[in-house]
Amino acid sequence: MNDPIFKTLTPSQFITFTVPNPVNHPCNLNTPRLRVAVLDSPVTVAADDLPKVAAMIVPDQRETDWNFCTESGHLQLLFNIPGLSRLILIGNDLPPNPEPPVYIRPPVIDTVDREKLEDEIHPLVMALHPKVCFQQGLPNLLFLTYEDDVLYRVIIARFVGPFVGEFVVEDVEMESNNDSDKKLRRRLRFKRMPNLIQSQVPLIPILDDGQSNTKLDLESLRKMKNATFDVDTTVLVHPYLTPMVSGLFLIASHLNDRIEQGFTPRALCLGVGGGALLSFLNTQMQFEVVGVEADEAVLSAAKQYFGLNNGKSIQLIVGDAIEVIQSFVTKGDTHDSQVSFQGLDDKFDVVMADLDSSEARNGISAPPPEFVKKSVFQAVRLLLHDHGVLIINVVPQNEVIYMNLVQQLKDAFHKVYGIDVGNQDNFVLVATLSPSSSNDHDNTFLKRLRSVIQGAYMDSIVEL
């Protein structure tokens, strides 16, 4: 392996090829040829720094998983390791068939076998290091392992959307601390960002007697002719959705007053995905909800597989979220403007933004840069009642971007609050138009809010 193309780092260079298999192993890397994929980071390494290079053996039975066989999945894996300049993936070279509809986690490779595998592909990995890595002698090889909590996965539907491209709906069984209560989920994944779970909801197996059964594993349940599956839209399992709903705590008194006056609270959700947030706000919090989603195919999947019901109390709009909110508002100032779009003629109590960047090359980030603009925040202000709030799911690429977002929100709104999701990736920001009105701890709305979500998130809200 003396191809000069690998001797230097080229930002965003992605190359795949096959080589004869040098490994003698019955279970892993056992095809006659191996697929090798080499990706260089789009981020240029500083001139005085040695590049950081790593290799990963593709997990058995995951060779056709988008996480490992696509450039977008490879890029997300690279971004998961801070400062990585090149990531080399080595796996079985399988026929070019669609991704198998079923994945069952194979037995874990023991340490001795893994070290033997790594030793046998050592020369190949060494040959794929840039020349600069040898300035101080032979580099120490860095091998990464991939682990997730999926025990069983079956793809139940495939879609191609005009905006998001290919995506799948999958049912999965995940690791659980309680073997008598299996952790079953229905999930939405996009090919353009396969490591990011766009939506997930609890999956409920129903047997002939109409009773749910979460004691059996998903593989066994799918073999039972009398088993069907439903989804539970009354709980939120995506990590950041409960903190987003917790942001309503800051306007609990306002919402309670509106309800007592006979008004139904209204929410505008920018980004729908599988619709878990919309369904929860509607069924558990009794909101009227308007959802904006860029891709009609995503809405079709949400209605068909995730229990999203659009009707009088949930209205769905297909369009670019930023363009839609700016077209909602007619010209005028904050107090006398009117909201008018597709028959809607009233303002909202809350705008919830769950929008991520559509460009995998930027890494996972939310909201997209085009959302963080004065004109967009001004449009949101005009959409809200005087006591309304903007709640945003934030996945910052770095602290500078995060602090810039916070400052722009402070410039446009009365106060900005933060909620730590606790997963080191997501943060929730809440921007208010007027002073917080959450001091009435006995009001009916607040009691309902505390009854359906974890109170810890409400108690952890801090002003920024």
Query: What residue segments make up the domains of the chain, in order of their start?
Result: 4-144, 150-231, 241-463
Among candidate residues 214, 205, 206, 207, the one with its CA nearest the CA of residue 176: 214
Sheet hosting strand 102-104, strand order edge to edge:
102-104, 150-161, 165-174, 183-190, 197-206, 228-231
Q: Where are the beta strands (DSSP E) in 354-395?
A: 384-394
Retrieve residue 88's tokens. Answer: 């080399």
Per DSSP bridges, beta strands 415-420 and 84-92 are unpaired
Sheet holding 52-57, edge to edge: 14-20, 33-40, 84-92, 52-57, 143-144
Return the closest-CA partner of residue 50 out of 130, 126, 123.
130
> Nearest Cα to 361, choosing from 163, 74, 157?
74
Question: Which pairs from 121-126 meet CB under 8 Å and 24+ separation?
Answer: 121/22, 121/23, 121/29, 121/55, 121/57, 121/90, 123/22, 124/1, 124/19, 124/22, 124/36, 124/90, 125/55, 125/88, 125/90
For CA atoms 356, 359, 364, 367, the dihedral sign is: negative
Q: Give the residue among 130, 145, 137, 280 at the shortest CA–CA distance from 201.
A: 280
Exposed/middle/buried for residue 460 (C-beta within 10 Å: 0-12, 13-18, 19+)? middle
Look up residue 97 and give its two tokens: 């068939």
Please give the chain's pLDDT, 464 residues, in tens.
667 899 999 999 999 999 999 987 777 898 999 999 999 999 887 767 889 999 999 998 899 899 999 999 999 999 989 899 999 999 999 887 656 678 999 888 888 888 889 999 999 999 999 999 998 889 989 999 999 999 999 999 999 999 999 999 999 999 988 776 789 999 999 999 999 999 999 999 988 776 666 678 999 999 988 889 999 999 999 999 999 999 999 999 999 999 999 999 999 999 999 999 999 999 999 999 999 999 999 999 999 999 998 777 999 999 999 999 888 765 444 454 555 555 456 899 999 999 988 766 666 789 999 999 999 999 999 999 999 999 999 998 888 999 999 999 999 999 999 998 988 789 999 999 998 765 556 789 999 999 998 778 998 999 99
Q: Check if the beta carbon of residue 171 is closer than 8 Å to that of residue 231.
A: no
The domain 241-463 belongs to what CATH superfamily? Vaccinia Virus protein VP39 (3.40.50.150)
pTM: 0.90
Q: What is residue 371's DSSP assignment?
A: G
Beta-carbon count within 10 A of 47 CB: 6
Q: Burial level of 374, CB count in 10 A (0-12/13-18/19+)?
A: exposed
Q: Which residues contact 47 (CB under 8 A, 6 or more apart)?
A: none
